[in-house]
Chains A and B, each alone.
Chain A
Amino acid sequence: MIRLSVGLEDPEDLFVDLEQALAAIRHPEDHAVRHE
């Protein structure tokens, strides 16, 4: 679980940052393939 306290920045900046942060992990289907 990750907790996010959203401030007053431009939401688009936050979305971009979160999108690139989530890109640091693999897609769940990649996990499934790895475990098969």
Chain B
Amino acid sequence: MVVWDRAEAAVLFSSGMVPLPAPAWPFCGRATPCSSPTHLRRDGTPLPPCVAEFGITTVPFPAGANAEKLAALVAVHRSPRVIFLESPANPTMQLCDMAGARTVADQCSIPDRPTLLMVDNTFLGPIFCQPLALGRIWCSTRPPNSSVAILIWWLAWLWGVPKSSGRSRPCVPSWAPTPTGRGLAHQSLAGHAATPHGATAAQRVPSGRGAARSPKVARVYYPGLPEMGESQVALWRQQCSGAGSVISFDIHGGEAEAFRVLDAFRHIRLAVSLGGIDTLVEHPWSMTHAAMRSEQKHLAGSAMP
């Protein structure tokens, strides 16, 4: 992972979403705000509510936020300790302007207390997107797991930050991009091999075998697709070398229609995981993002159940 992520060092862990709050622990008791993106928890942040008891405040912002939006947020919530990006966002595939966020983080850093930029790029990294190339970023493409991971995170923090917080140090340690148990070779194989399938599927899967998109599909979400918008396509060209193998799409109707489609799959399995060798399908509104409040789901861009 040091090679692929071009990091100074890497820490590998098993899978799991629980350790997402691990990066917050070093800030406990410091009463400083921690900006974060929308994510899977009820309040739309990657941190559990109990962090407030440790003096940590989280400020969610919309998926795909650009540098201007981040700068405006920082102007209100001064000197955040962390800007946490999820890019591409799950499940809307919105990309964040990582270079812009890097600039915002630099601008709001103060001597001896830099604002860290953390990037969760599970869907693309490290093969198709290397946030660490921007410098001074903690990059997570798959969260670590268990209390052991938190302990190791602490060690990484103690080891990495003093070296990397200076402006002259461009890179900091990276986390594991995929569950260690699946193997690094698998990560490379699956990432490279599945992407052509993903790109093809983004054009064809919602339409079945036909050449035209099915009228039952309202919209497709996939990095680089024109319907993601000009700014998103520009960001994709700037930041990514591929689009990965995760696709989201809306179907006409609502939750009932989505459930009927999900129930009708015979080969594709219903499961919340991703990035493996098996094709999996899920309903984010009621599965991976079920814990989020409706308004947070809308903020994250999951407007359609």
Residues in chain A within 8 A of chain B (CB atoms): 1-9, 11-25, 27-29, 31
Contact = CB atoms under 8 A, between A and B. Distances in A.
Contacts of B189: 8
Contacts of A8: 189-190, 193-194, 197, 277-278
A29 to B, nearest CB: 8
A6 B267 contact: no
A25 B208 contact: no
Contacts of B283: 1-3
Contacts, number: 151
Contacts of B204: 11, 15
9 contacts: A2-B248, A5-B273, A6-B201, A6-B279, A8-B190, A15-B208, A17-B267, A28-B216, A28-B253
B200 A11 contact: yes
B280 to A, nearest CB: 5
Nearest to A12: B209
B100 interface: no
A7 B190 contact: yes
A26 to B, nearest CB: 8
Contacts of A1: 91-92, 221, 248-250, 258, 283-285, 302, 304-305
Interface string B196-234: 011011001110111000111100010000000000000
Contacts of A6: 194, 197-198, 201, 205, 245-247, 279
Given A14-B201, A15-B205, A25-B251, A5 B261 contact: no
B209 A25 contact: no
Interface in B138-156: none
Interface string B245-281: 1111111110001101111111110000111111111
Given A8-B194, A18-B265, A22-B251, 19 more contacts: A1-B248, A2-B248, A2-B258, A2-B261, A2-B262, A2-B282, A4-B201, A5-B275, A6-B245, A6-B247, A7-B277, A7-B280, A8-B277, A11-B204, A13-B267, A15-B209, A17-B266, A24-B260, A24-B263
